[in-house]
Structure 1
Amino acid sequence: MVVITIFEVSPSHIQSGPSPLSSLHSNIPTFTFHSNSLFFSGSARFCSFTVILLLMDYNYLKEIDGKRLHDPLMMPKAMTTSTSSRIRVQGPIIVGAGPSGLAVAACLKQRGIPSLILERANCLASLWQLKTYDRLRLHLPKHLCQLPHMPFPLDFPTYPTKQQFVAYLESYAQSFHIEPEYNTTVVSAEFDHGCNFWRMKTSRVGLKIEESSTNIEYVCQWLVVASGENAEEVKPDFEGMDEFRGPIIHTSHYKSGDPFRDKRVLVIGCGNSGMEICLDLCNYNARPSLVVRDTLHVLPQEMLGRSTFGVSMWLLKWLPMRLVDSFLLLVSRLTIGDTDRLGLYRPKIGPLELKKRTGKTPVLDVGTLAKIRNGSIKVFPGVKRFTSHAIEFVDGKLEDFDAIILATGYKNNIPTWLKDNVLFSNKDGHSKKPFPEGWKGENGLYSVGFAKRGLLGTSMDAERVAEDIELQWSLIKRFENNRVTVN
């Protein structure tokens, strides 16, 4: 006897192509359905459709059941232990315990879907905790940076400090009972078309002396990449760099200007970090200089009593981007002056259009421009080469320096471990799909935090991913509860 399973699915969720159940690894034969084979009333909120499973030989089904008992991929989660070399995870695996990973884990938790976060560091938000300078604050107001389902505390300032943001993330993880697997590095992740699962090889370093490094393979149906765009430092290689006798550090190792008191420091890179570190060095009586190689937009952090970003978002609801850009540049010139006179030349296209095309974020001034105007911070063009104690610039000038700080940014490391050429570029790891489509790939692959839209874009991606997985999860659970019985 064959029992035909009946499902109820919202018409808006029915799509052509393979069903999410087609990847369900079970003793029940899998199937696909197409929208052109479904018949339902357009006025009905829900539609019902029947899926007729082919009769299979009873002995074959018994053989499948026998294999399930010995195949680690088909075992229930309760039948595997943390000491085994292969662990099947029933829900999604999330790579990265930063804001993006925490956000999607919380959204899944709200929908009753378990997940596992793998994090290579020994703490959550490792970039914020381990690789940022002490004076860092959120550059955008807190209401634009909060993660889904939990606002910032009311007593937090408009622009929370680094320490406050980390405290918020830790409270967020506790509130949603998120417990990442720390010290676990994903070595490779590849979709296995034979079993329709993701196989993830990891390396875990023991936290105690008596514990040794272990290699575990995780198996899951959904993989969410949330490792961020700032996974690895970018360190340029200039001519003669090895000859320089002073310290050369990346901003990931800079905490404050205290070690650089009374020293001549060259900061290479003029993004938000480079500009703010120059300001911090001034506060410690250092003598900073700033290398500005490319054009850039510098905007006031606030205009008209509101955050510049908030004003931009509001204006974009009513005006085309070109006009909003013109407005931003006009107000900027009135409030912070002509930055070209300071050696900070603006691009030919506006700040929002530049962000859309290249992902390059405008710099929000928090006091650096005033230090450049009064001569506390010098501005130089690109670096040509290093000597033992000086830097030669592309304009021929030669200046002595005691230390170099590389504010040259970060890059993601996705191409080194993810075996996928559909969602992410194998060259630089950037999403191949433009915003807002870059959150979903193929075979249960998702990404969160790569839209170049800040924490607000992260929250949007997290909700989309959780909603999409929820649809598949609910179908699978119904399928399991209404599976075929053969007598």
Structure 2
Amino acid sequence: MDYLRELESKRVHDSFDETMKKVGRCVCVPGPIIVGAGPSGLAVAACLKEKGVPCVIIERANCIASLWKLKTYNRLHLHLPKKYCELPFMPFPAKFPTYPTKEQFVEYLEDYVKKFDLEPQFNQTVESANYDHSLGLWRVKTVGVKEFRYSRWLVVATGENSEAVVPEIEGINEFEGPVVHTSSYKSGETFSGKKVLVVGCGNSGMEICLDLCNNNAQPSIVVRDTLHILPREMLGRSTFGVSMWLLKLFPICLVDRILLFISWFILGDTSRIGLDRPNIGPLQLKCTSGKTPVLDVGTLAKIKTGEIKVRPGVKRTTCRTVEFTDGSAEEYDAIVLATGYRSNVPSWLKDKEMFSEEDGLPRRSFPHGWKGEYGLYAVGFTKRGLLGSSMDAKRIAQDIEQSWKAEVKPFTAFTRTPAPAS
């Protein structure tokens, strides 16, 4: 069935057509609409291209992979080996190191776009997307454009890291020094010679502390809860690779015990330096809560020598002082919020079934969260990094290809601009 002809026929008779005359034009997209031109969105587009299915990628920023290009610190490297971060149909260059730099990863993505001849439409922020049951199509509206795009399929590729999370801290507006989120942090050079409090002890918080140390700053890190720290490599291989191999042989609870024993042997007892571990193992914790273990790249050694101080939760701040939950207080020159990101899907996607309004993530956990109803898909929400995105991208493309071949005849998209309202 040619759904564009069906749409045109319905518009002739529906009152919606009268509304469109006042609102703007209707653009019918022959293939899926992909929202987001980060690695996940690009992966889906490439998989669709390989299957001969056209698509439209819309991106709110002015470039691909805006998080990587614009909102990451200079010393960032991939935390996992490159072979676990490849997008479909294109390996990393052999000359790249095991853990590519931020610049190398961006170069890889740009080459990926060229190889598959992808053409994202930039500066297109989605205002709303909802399913029109009367037409059987998704209707997408972008900010500042009097235009609706229609498609049978909608792929949400905005990912888990769309918006910076900025916690509410009592008195933070009174603090006289700079307060920056990691999305604005570039290098520790800016803070050389200063006392800096880093709030957040994930991989970014730990690595920023190390960067500050290496640039002659005096960092402290806030650790409010228990956390797992693992060496980035063990037994001559990446910890992630060892974990994947062990999971093929043993149950996850036993693999956790093995990882923790090796970590204790390499890193020692982290509780002695104020870093208590959770009662549940690192892989089980990842599966149940999505909390990723920290892969140590040298920060732990700086904590052991006292170059990086571990502090409890923040209670309040004043003009220069930070008070902690244990009653202690200390003066700082700057605060870096390594408090992560969250999904922004609930702010624009009107479907309430597939995505949780609480956290903006698919309600169904991996590996079932990639597909919703009425041609709605999600990629980049697995909490399993680029490997998870690549797996879902392939599933999505295969699923769309089946309905594409069964229901839609190839055609050229048309654009109809309604006559001016009288």
Task: Please say whether Structure 1 and Structure 2 have the same fold, judged by a TM-score greater than 0.5.
Answer: yes
Contact 1:27–1:68 under 8 Å retained in 2: no
Alignment of 1:131-170 (within 5 A): 131-170=71-110
Alignment of 1:220-259 (within 5 A): 220-259=151-190
Instruction: Say whether residues 1:335 and 2:266 are aligned partners.
Output: yes
Query: Quick one: higher RCO (CA 8 Å, sep 6+), 1 or 2?
Result: 2
Q: Deviations over 1:115-156 (max 9, x none)?
A: 111100000000000000000000100000000000000100
Contact 1:121–1:182 under 8 Å retained in 2: yes
Shift in Å, 1:278 = 0.3
Instruction: Say whether residues 1:129 and 2:69 are aligned partners.
Output: yes
Contact 2:3–2:408 under 8 Å retained in 1: no
Structure 2 distance, partners of 1:360, 1:440, is 23
Q: Share of identical aligned residues, percent?
A: 62
Q: Deviations over 1:343-364 (max 9, x none)?
A: 1110000000000000000000
Cross-structure match for 2:191: 260
Structure 1 distance, partners of 2:206, 2:4, is 56
2:28 corresponds to which of 88, 97, 102:
88
Cross-structure match for 1:286: 217
1:197 corresponds to which of 101, 118, 137:
137
SS of residue paired to 2:335: strand
Cross-structure match for 2:395: 464
Q: Deviations over 1:284-309 (max 9, x none)?
A: 10000000001100000000010000
Say if 1:127 and 1:66 are closer, same or farther in 2 by CA, change over 3 A: closer
Cross-structure match for 2:287: 356
Q: Deviations over 1:257-316 (max 9, x none)?
A: 111010000000000000000000011100000000011000000000100000000110
Contact 2:4–2:28 under 8 Å retained in 1: no
Say if 1:319 and 1:281 are closer, same or farther in 2 by CA, change over 3 A: same
TM-score, normalised to structure 1, is: 0.81
2:330 corresponds to which of 399, 402, 405:
399
Contact 1:188–1:202 under 8 Å retained in 2: yes
Structure 2 distance, partners of 1:337, 1:445, is 47
Structure 2 distance, partners of 1:304, 1:85, is 60
Structure 2 distance, partners of 1:478, 1:400, is 67
Amino acid corresponding to residue 160 of structure 1 in structure 2: P
Structure 1 distance, partners of 2:345, 2:397, is 21
Cross-structure match for 1:442: 373
Alignment of 1:70-109 (within 5 A): 85-109=25-49
Instruction: Say whether residues 1:25 and 2:10 are aligned partners.
Output: no
Structure 2 distance, partners of 1:368, 1:263, is 18
Structure 1 distance, partners of 2:46, 2:377, is 15
RMSD over aligned Cα atoms: 2.0
1:325 corresponds to which of 250, 256, 259:
256
2:60 corresponds to which of 120, 130, 143:
120
Structure 1 distance, partners of 2:138, 2:236, is 49
SS of residue paired to 2:392: helix
SS of residue paired to 1:371: helix
2:127 corresponds to which of 187, 198, 201:
187
Structure 2 stretches of 5 or more lacking a match?
A: 18-23, 412-422
Structure 1 distance, partners of 2:26, 2:81, is 44
Shift in Å, 1:240 = 1.1
Shift in Å, 1:219 = 0.8
Amino acid corresponding to residue 332 of structure 2 in structure 1: F
Contact 2:162–2:344 under 8 Å retained in 1: yes
Structure 1 stretches of 5 or more lacking a match?
A: 1-20, 29-63, 75-83, 204-212, 481-487
Structure 2 distance, partners of 1:435, 1:285, is 42
Shift in Å, 1:85 = 2.8
Size of the aligned set, in residue pairs, is 405
Contact 1:101–1:448 under 8 Å retained in 2: yes
Amino acid corresponding to residue 25 of structure 1 in structure 2: Y
Which of structures 1 and 2 has the bigger CA Rg? Answer: 1
Structure 2 distance, partners of 1:341, 1:306, is 27
Cross-structure match for 1:433: 364
Structure 1 distance, partners of 2:4, 2:347, is 32
Contact 1:190–1:198 under 8 Å retained in 2: yes
1:366 corresponds to which of 288, 297, 302:
297
Shift in Å, 1:427 = 2.0
Contact 1:288–1:377 under 8 Å retained in 2: yes
Amino acid corresponding to residue 257 of structure 1 in structure 2: G
1:386 corresponds to which of 313, 317, 320:
317
